[in-house]
Structure 1
């Protein structure tokens, strides 16, 4: 337990100062931490996370989610690729895996969330992640309210659609959903891209949301900005989601690819077949 609190403190040290320094302060972190997972166990902690299955499909995504150790698993050491431990969300080519809602699916992938296990209102949510190169990959780290969409709000802390030099952040709610005006792209500095480890976070207060990458403020949305378009739906509990989608609406809007799959070019299909469709998550933290 002490190791968990110490690691959490070091996480906060990185974000607040940009430097890693050792200081053991478990009492402060224990009172400040709402949720923490560093994926150090042998498998996903089901007390903290739900796993989405094949009965879920949105946004014309080209995969189905499956509850399987093939798509959701923990790794250590060299397999964690620069982290001590990591969660892996992995997509696979699996021809004719399932027919669902009139569609044939040739890909499987992983999606997890904290719904009804960890719900929070205000605070900072952050994750350290390493993303794959390939047009049409669509991993995301985000938060939803517990009710109908978009009536209870959506916070997109990080979305990536396969252009390695940028990620997107956004808010969705009634009057500003889908093609939301409350959206921003963050372009990495020269020499950086999504394939390296980065910390993606949001600071959420009753009056604003501040989106950050590696502690850098990249977008600020205030309550009056939201109320220009609709109701502020960010006073209610939300849960975290991590997923790796393939193709679909947002990638297609970015790359215009129609074949062989909507938003998913043949070059990326080959990467999936080669086992290179992996999102790694070092840790996830929610603090007050």
Structure 2
């Protein structure tokens, strides 16, 4: 009886929905077609430099511990990553005491960062990446987009996914004029222990003209509208943005979250040991933008 009632209710709901939407009952509403305007599944032998710039650190931001280098030690493609559909990007961090950046700063870690500035830039669209992240307090990988033609934060920053090493949650945020740093436009998604960030997930934002909708595995968990943004400052999302995927270590955000200051700011001894053991790896199956 319960099963039959559920079936009748479901049919009635569909009929009511089609009538209210003005769709004839003998026709099926077709989903809106998406057009892929960018896709990289990292299936080749080398990073596609028509899509990506490999960042090399000079100035270090957020008191982070890593220097970004252009090296196969930190950025490589692999066709032997479990769960990846057609090869994957592997971003690996290393302990490298005394490493000098190009402007003479000293960092004890090296890592990798890709960004599409000047090569692939977008205004609106759905930006997605399928990623698998490492467990370890102070790891700080991210998938995000940054605006062009203006200085930060006026250019606008869209943090699609940030993670500071606590495997049960990720965050999304917006930064712009009068809402940056400790931005009020931020939200966390908590995941089930058996399906935490060390498993594959698709992190995405649907960037619309007057709203940004954040998803994990097609589940909407945060929506920011133009009026919400303009309560704090100017809407900074009418200009082109480029994509970034990177693997930072320690620094202000992890330290603020965990309170860890030793042996490095935001990075405890357990994570240092994990890096030394070769386990500090971020996997990116693909990155995609659709309209």
**TM-score bin (small chain):** 0.7 to 0.9
Report how far residue 189 of structure 1 moved. 2.7
Partners in 1 of 2:177 and 2:232 — Cα distance? 8
Find 1:191's aligned residue among 189, 194, 197.
194
Partners in 1 of 2:258 and 2:82 — Cα distance? 28
- Which string of whole-angstrom CA distances, capped at 9 and with x for unpartnered residues, describes residues 164-200 of structure 1? 0000000000000000000000001342100000000
Count of matched residue pairs: 257
Give structure 1 stretches of 5+ with no counterpart. 1-27
The answer on 1:104 being equivalent to 2:106 is yes
Equivalent residue for 2:72? 69
The correspondence of residues 118-133 of structure 1 with structure 2, limited to 5 A, is 118-133=120-135
Partners in 1 of 2:98 and 2:65 — Cα distance? 12
The answer on 1:179 being equivalent to 2:172 is no
Partners in 2 of 1:244 and 1:155 — Cα distance? 16
- How has the CA–CA distance of structure 1 residues 212 and 105 changed in structure 2, closer, same or farther, with 3 Å as cutoff? same
Equivalent residue for 2:247? 244
The correspondence of residues 255-266 of structure 1 with structure 2, limited to 5 A, is 255-266=258-269
Partners in 1 of 2:208 and 2:182 — Cα distance? 24
**SS of 2:275's equivalent?**
helix
Equivalent residue for 1:53? 56
Partners in 1 of 2:116 and 2:104 — Cα distance? 29
Contact 1:40–1:85 under 8 Å retained in 2? yes
The answer on 1:234 being equivalent to 2:237 is yes
- Which string of whole-angstrom CA distances, capped at 9 and with x for unpartnered residues, describes residues 94-150 of structure 1? 111116778531100000101010010011000000000100000000000013100
- Which string of whole-angstrom CA distances, capped at 9 and with x for unpartnered residues, describes residues 248-284 of structure 1? 0100001111111100111101110111000000000
**SS of 1:191's equivalent?**
helix
Partners in 2 of 1:219 and 1:160 — Cα distance? 16
Equivalent residue for 1:38? 41
- Structure with greater Cα Rg: 2
Contact 2:58–2:103 under 8 Å retained in 1? no
Contact 1:139–1:242 under 8 Å retained in 2? yes
Find 2:169's aligned residue among 162, 166, 169.
166
The answer on 1:81 being equivalent to 2:90 is no
Give structure 2 stretches of 5+ with no counterpart. 1-32
Partners in 2 of 1:174 and 1:106 — Cα distance? 33
Contact 1:56–1:65 under 8 Å retained in 2? no
- The two structures, once aligned, show a CA RMSD in angstroms of 1.3
Contact 1:56–1:64 under 8 Å retained in 2? no
Report how far residue 54 of structure 1 moved. 2.6
Equivalent residue for 2:30? none
Contact 2:58–2:101 under 8 Å retained in 1? no
